[in-house]
């Protein structure tokens, strides 16, 4: 597993946001931030659990999602983000973790 970013909630529109339809959330590319921050701004009807919306998360790039989810408190089941990754969220020891399985050759929304 490889560190990818820290996710923080944003309340205002951010520059260069991308929309994640499944979570109804606008996100920024953490590669554009010097501290690898991903800003997340949720639509009012987003079904993302409050624990994920209101708690910073740490994201890791992994080869396969499933081994990191087994036996854990999965709060968002695996879902597709654009064409570039499948992601899932867990809560462990009070912390929110995101695991990201990237499609080969892709890095973010731009492929």
- pLDDT, tens only, 76-104: 999 988 788 899 999 999 999 999 999 98
> Is residue 107 included in any domain, yes or no?
no
- How far lies 105's CA from each of 5, 85, 96, 97, in Å? 19, 11, 27, 23
Bridging pattern class, strands 18-20 and 25-27: antiparallel
Total domains in the chain come to: 1
Which range marks the domain in which residue 9 is found? 2-102
> What share of the chain in percent tops pLDDT 70?
98
CA distances from 87 to 6, 30, 64, 111 (A): 14, 15, 10, 16
- Which pTM does this prediction carry? 0.90
10 inside domain? yes
pLDDT score of 19 more than 70? yes
54 touches 48 (CB < 8 A): no
What's the CA gap between 33 and 38, in Å, rounded?
8
Residue 56 inside a domain? The answer is yes
Whether residue 108 is contained in a domain is answered as: no
Is the residue at 95 inside a domain? yes
Model confidence at 110: pLDDT above 70: no
Asked if the structure places residue 111 within a domain, the reply is: no
CATH of residue 62's domain is: 3.10.180.10
């Amino acid at each position: 597993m490889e560190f990818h970013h820290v996710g923080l909630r944003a309340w205002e529109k951010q520059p260069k946001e991308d929309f994640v339809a499944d979570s109804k959330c606008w996100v920024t590319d953490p590669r554009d931030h010097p501290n690898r921050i991903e800003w997340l701004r949720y639509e009012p009807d987003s079904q993302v659990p409050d624990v994920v919306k209101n708690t910073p998360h740490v994201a890791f790039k992994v080869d396969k999602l499933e081994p990191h989810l087994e036996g854990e408190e999965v709060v968002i089941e695996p879902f597709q983000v654009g064409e570039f990754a499948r992601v899932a969220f867990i809560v462990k020891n009070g912390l929110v973790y995101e695991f990201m399985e990237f499609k080969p050759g892709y890095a973010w929304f731009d492929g």
